[in-house]
Structure 1
Amino acid sequence: MTGYSLLDLVPIVQDGTAASALANAADLARHAEGLGFNRYWVAEHHGMPGIASAATAVVIGHLAAATSTIKVGAGGIMLPNHAPLVIAEQFGTLDALFPGRIELGLGRAPGSDHKVARALRRTLESDPNAFPQDVLELQSYFADDGQTGIRAVPGAGAKVPLWILGSSTFGAQLAAALGLPYAFASHFAPAAMMDAIAIYRAGFRPSAQLDRPHVMLGFNVFAADSDNEAQYLASSAHQAFVAIRTGQAIQLPPPVRDFRAGLGAQGNAILNQVLECSATGSPATVAHQIAAFVERTGADELMLTGMIYDPEARKKSFGIAAQAMRELQLAA
């Protein structure tokens, strides 16, 4: 039975503020909790004018305080930007405040450009290729096994589930070797998805955290009463995707009619690639597209996402998607 969760990039809309974006995120998290979503994750991005989740651990605390039962976590923390001890302390603190509800997805991308990465780290001596060692160090702090000679307080003994994130086969290999659940970023980088799934499942070794492989796949959803309305709402995200891919990140703009018709070949090629793992349309259309994706991939869980300019339309979209997932579960 395929589960469903929600990834929120905490979008700052055009002429909006981070304060309103964070308030909308808390409202959406409460809505997702009521719709039966398994987990609500936010991602670490830096230097992005349209994303308000840079201080990811702080945002997670805000969302956990606004809800009561849904799991809240990072999808993910970009570990090369941080000392593992700092992350152990941050998420150990969150676990102490919200026991049993905090999750930690880990990635090795910078979540920023080279200039911002240098400002974050002061130097670029930290090596993304050391990511596996950093994950093991973080596990050691939570396990409180003494291997580092340092005790994380808070953090030691915290029961924070770890996930490995990825958009290539590297993360799949690491998640399999460590026996951790694997989340693939197919919502914006789908090219290696099927290879990564196969590598992860074939190489999985059971661990104390997980006895069988668990694959969660990112999936964009833009749902509305009609196909035309959904395409209109999706145009905000389409504009943002093209801007990011052409080096001009922007705040989330209002939707426009027939955006793709006037976009040109390059822009449409970008969107065709980015949106390969997406559902856009009416409830019936979205339900069909989600079911086809699950059948193709065998996903254990979908991490649904979708940047929509109007907060109420975004809530409605996720409500339609949740109903499609429930129907899919009943049919399984």
Structure 2
Amino acid sequence: MADKLIQDIPFSILDLAPITEGNNAGITFQNSLRLAQRVEELGFRRYWLAEHHNMESVASSATSVLIGYIAGGTKSIRVGSGGIMLPNHAPLVVAEQFGTLASLYPGRIDLGLGRAPGTDQVTARALRRNYMESAQDFPDDVIALQTYFSADNKNAKVRAIPGEGLDVPIWILGSSTDSARLAAHLGLPYAFASHFAPAHFLDAIELYRRNFRPSAHLAQPYVMACVNVIAADTNEEAERLATSFFQLATGIITGKRRPLQPPVDSMDGLWGEYEEAAVRQMMKYTFIGDRKRVGKDLAYFQQRTQLDELMVTSHIYDPQARIHSYEVLKSVQDERVAVG
């Protein structure tokens, strides 16, 4: 089988609905919708939103509500979760919410599931779920969700209405080999969070492919990975835009989280040697530059990984610059870029 080039696979978007310095969640949601509408025009396949809690820079905590807003403002792009953090929710509630979304927007809703709480332990307790028990129950909860969506569940004592009998694709999300084993065992598509957890990426996708068991949902393994891309017309402009992302990542490393900051001319004084090293390690799969540089780097990345689909997230302060970054990225598919 011939290698899949970066130009041969679909591109998709992961949006954490970033709250930028000086703005609020309402403006963030408007910016997300404008981005979704533009990438739909460009031909991106999916627009996913991620569940996080108690983070000053992230507005996507009520993920299913925001999915409905984005799906309602677009026409064809698939909209889904990247993901719903299942330890925070009863499977029945998730089935009902996504059954409602799939009824409103048939054939357009994806349900990506993660086993982490998407927050700190104190907030996880405030969400009224015991994280350790829920994380251990993750495989059973995924199977429970599949049951609620199944038409065969119509005679059960507990049913998901709406939800039952609907085609809501379930994805397993992960950043470790545990999630890869589960996705392979259940015969489900697998999405890896390589944009912030690169350590086990290559091992996990290899394990998933090697152990994949065909299911009624999927005949062959299907791997999507998320990476960070910050693209612009010049390398210099892209590097400057990336300083907003570096400031955000430094805040994660140091525990001093803030809304997404404007770009700066230099990171000198904003991070130390340790913070810079930690950020660059955590954000290993980050591609910054103009079309030529990003295209070449992504071509090499695809040569190594042979993804079936690429998901991209871009932490850029200015909403128009963020849209343009995706326009530059999409232009990579218009030409063959040499790896060497």
TM-score normalised by the chain length of structure 1: 0.96
Q: In the alignment, what sits opposite 2:188?
A: 180
Q: In the alignment, what sits opposite 2:57?
A: 50
Displacement, 1:144? Answer: 3.5
Are residues 1:162 and 2:170 paired?
Answer: yes
| Structure 1 ranges of 4+ moved more than 6 A | none
The number of aligned residues is 331
Query: C-alpha separation between the residues in 1 aligned to 2:328 and 2:168?
Result: 31
**Counterpart residue type for residue 209 of structure 1:** H
Displacement, 1:322? Answer: 1.2
Q: In the alignment, what sits opposite 1:27?
A: 34
Which of 98, 105, 125 is the matching residue for 1:98? Answer: 105
Q: In the alignment, what sits opposite 2:127?
A: 120
**Counterpart residue type for residue 163 of structure 1:** W
| Cα distance change on mapping 1:65 and 1:262 into 2, 3 Å | closer
**Counterpart residue type for residue 232 of structure 1:** R
Q: Which runs of 5+ in 2 are unaligned?
A: 1-7
Q: Which runs of 5+ in 1 are unaligned?
A: none
Q: In the alignment, what sits opposite 1:135?
A: 142
Q: Secondary structure at the match of 1:218?
A: strand
Displacement, 1:250? Answer: 1.3
Which of 286, 306, 320 is the matching residue for 2:328? Answer: 320
| Cα distance change on mapping 1:157 and 1:328 into 2, 3 Å | farther
Matches within 5 A, 1:69-84: 69-84=76-91
Displacement, 1:325? Answer: 3.3
| Cα distance change on mapping 1:268 and 1:124 into 2, 3 Å | closer
Q: In the alignment, what sits opposite 1:239?
A: 247
Which of 168, 171, 180 is the matching residue for 2:179? Answer: 171
Query: C-alpha separation between the residues in 1 aligned to 2:287 and 2:156?
Result: 46
Asked if structure 1 preserves the Cα contact closer than 8 Å seen for 2:88 and 2:129, the reply is no
Q: Deviations over 1:119-166 (max 9, x none)?
A: 112555742011000000000000032386311111111110000000
| Cα distance change on mapping 1:260 and 1:7 into 2, 3 Å | farther
Percent identity of equivalent pairs: 51
Matches within 5 A, 1:201-216: 201-216=209-224
Q: Secondary structure at the match of 2:191?
A: strand
**Counterpart residue type for residue 189 of structure 1:** A
**Counterpart residue type for residue 323 of structure 2:** K
Displacement, 1:274? Answer: 2.0
Query: C-alpha separation between the residues in 2 aligned to 1:92 and 1:230?
Result: 40
Displacement, 1:260? Answer: 5.6
Displacement, 1:311? Answer: 0.3
Displacement, 1:262? Answer: 5.7
Displacement, 1:264? Answer: 2.0
| Cα distance change on mapping 1:282 and 1:75 into 2, 3 Å | same
Are residues 1:293 and 2:297 paired?
Answer: no
Q: In the alignment, what sits opposite 2:229?
A: 221
Query: C-alpha separation between the residues in 1 aligned to 2:219 and 2:58?
Result: 35
Displacement, 1:278? Answer: 1.4
